[in-house]
Amino acid sequence: MRTLVVGLVFLWMSVSGVVVADEVAEVKIVEPYIELRTGPGSGHPVFHVVDRGEFIDVLKRKTDWFKVRYQMGASRIIEGWVNRAQLELTVAPGGESTRLAKAGLDDFTNRRWEMGVLGGDFNGAPVMAVYGGFAFNKNLSAEISAAKVVGEFSSSTLYLISVLSQPFPEWRYSPFFTLGAGQIETQPRVTLVQAKDTRDLVAHVGLGLKVFLSRRFILRAEYKNYVAFSSDNNNEEFEEWKVGFSFFF
């Protein structure tokens, strides 16, 4: 088939970046202190320290980071993020140790960022690709990617911006659909003829499968169909298969 399907139905769901607890849990700090950060990650700065003997409320979770609330005095409330390792050094009001489940399927469903490496076949030539993605909600995300294709007579570099739809984000084996556009740059490897480098616009449509493995890791497989729009109106169509691993946070 020499035509590109340019439409897909995208399912929209409510925005959800974190797992919210059904009820607020209160824990007591038994270590000398714990550090509160401005966001869910070690790259965010520490802005406050809560000392031993104080109580904090656990509000919600994002992978291995927890948003907590600390009542400082009668009128000041401080909220920040604590990592899983520090929070497990607290105890419940009754003295029981705090036990937290590791990142699981709920974290996969509610992930925000995703990065990965894929390899496979691009129209008969080996291809390697890296990508990064951001989820607007459970069903809809955007990705940017770069790929290198090394053929017998030429090599190509492919840059893409894509939109993905996951109709069943809560499934461990989660299918997805994708479409997007970008640019392909081709450099001939043959030196016996006066071949020129080319740069063409491309569009693609595809489908794939994401499999949640454990903690923050995903197995990903995908198929894409491309159309390259050349300046001489001699458009070309390509097929691509890739598989690889990703992690989310």
Domain ranges of the chain: 19-101, 111-248
Mean pLDDT throughout 226-242? 88
In terms of Cα–Cα distance, which of 48, 3, 8 is closest to 29? Answer: 48
Provide the pLDDT for residue 12: 30
What CATH architecture is 111-248?
A: Beta Barrel (2.40)
Please tell me which residue, 47 or 5, carries the higher pLDDT value: 47
Residue 114's CB is within 10 A of a number of other CB atoms, namely: 22
Please tell me which residue, 3 or 238, carries the higher pLDDT value: 238
Question: What is the pLDDT confidence band of residue 24, given thresholds at 50, 70 and 90?
Answer: low
Provide the pLDDT for residue 184: 93
Summarised one tens digit per residue, pLDDT across range 59-96 is 887 777 889 999 887 788 999 999 888 887 787 666 66
The domain covering 19-101 belongs, at the CATH homologous superfamily level, to SH3 Domains (2.30.30.40)
Angle at 141 between CA 200 and CA 183, to 5 degrees: 5
Provide the pLDDT for residue 16: 35
C-alpha to C-alpha distance for 238 and 213, rounded to whole angstroms: 30
In one letter, which amino acid is 59? L
Dihedral angle sign, alpha carbons of residues 129, 134, 135, 139: negative
In one letter, which amino acid is 24? V
Provide the pLDDT for residue 157: 95
Summarised one tens digit per residue, pLDDT across range 183-216 is 999 888 765 455 677 889 999 999 999 999 877 8
Tokens 């340019």 label which residue? 6
Same fold flag, 19-101 and 111-248: no
Question: What is the Cα gyration radius of the chain?
Answer: 24
User: What is the percent of the chain with per-residue pLDDT over 70, rounded to a whole number?
Assistant: 82
Mean pLDDT throughout 219-245? 91
pLDDT exceeds cutoff 70 at 2 = no
User: What is the percent of the chain with per-residue pLDDT over 90, rounded to a whole number?
Assistant: 49
- Contact (CB, 8 A) for 34 and 50: yes
Mean pLDDT throughout 130-146? 96
- Contact (CB, 8 A) for 204 and 180: yes
> HSE on the CB side for 59, CA within 13 Å?
11
Provide the pLDDT for residue 190: 62
Summarised one tens digit per residue, pLDDT across range 155-180 is 899 999 999 999 999 899 999 999 99
